[in-house]
Amino acid sequence: DTEVTQTPKHLVMGMTNKKSLKCEQHMGHRAMYWYKQKAKKPPELMFVYSYEKLSINESVPSRFSPECPNSSLLNLHLHALQPEDSALYLCASSQVSAGGVGYTFGSGTRLTVV
């Protein structure tokens, strides 16, 4: 299995809703990442998990809450989002190595906040 699987592919949520994005990989990668991508812009790093521990938080608002329950699974819990949070959320994984060997992206969750 050489894929990163993200669910759901599309999500529409209200500003008072709580929802979660899920990311799964079975490549044995011990580094997992969340990125946010706005239209026609490059992705922006949000969080990095290394060996299931949060190692980088790029000053992301607390309405985004990451979780790494095990080495194969990464969640992003969403609460009280704003319309400007609408974007494509990408998960990625890699080996824990200098440079990121085996960097693999999921196909993303397209989030719309109404």
Partner 1 sequence: KNEVEQSPQNLTAQEGEFITINCSYSVGISALHWLQQHPGGGIVSLFMLSSGKKKHGRLIATINIQEKHSSLHITASHPRDSAVYICAVTIRGGGADGLTFGKGTHLIIQP
CA nearest 31: which of 95, 91, 103, 104?
A: 95
The two beta strands, 87-94 and 73-79, are unpaired
Return the number of the residue (16 or 39) whose C-beta is nearest partner 1.
39
Task: Tokens for 79, please give them.
Answer: 């609460």
List the x/- string, 90-109, binding to partner 1 by CB under 8 A: x-x-x-xxxxxx-xxxxxx-
* Cα separation of the two ends of the chain: 36
Minimum CB–partner distance for residue 71 and partner 1 (Å):
12
Report in angstroms how near the CB of residue 72 gets to partner 1 at its nearest. Answer: 15
Q: Does 31 bind partner 1 (CB under 8 A)?
A: yes
Q: Peptide bond preceding 8: is omega within 30 degrees of 0, i.e. cis?
A: yes
In contact, 50 and 30? CB cutoff 8 Å: yes
Residue 42 found at the interface with partner 1 (CB under 8 A): yes
Contacts with partner 1, residue ranges (CB under 8 A) = 30-31, 33, 35, 41-43, 45, 48-50, 55-56, 58, 90, 92, 94, 96-101, 103-108, 110
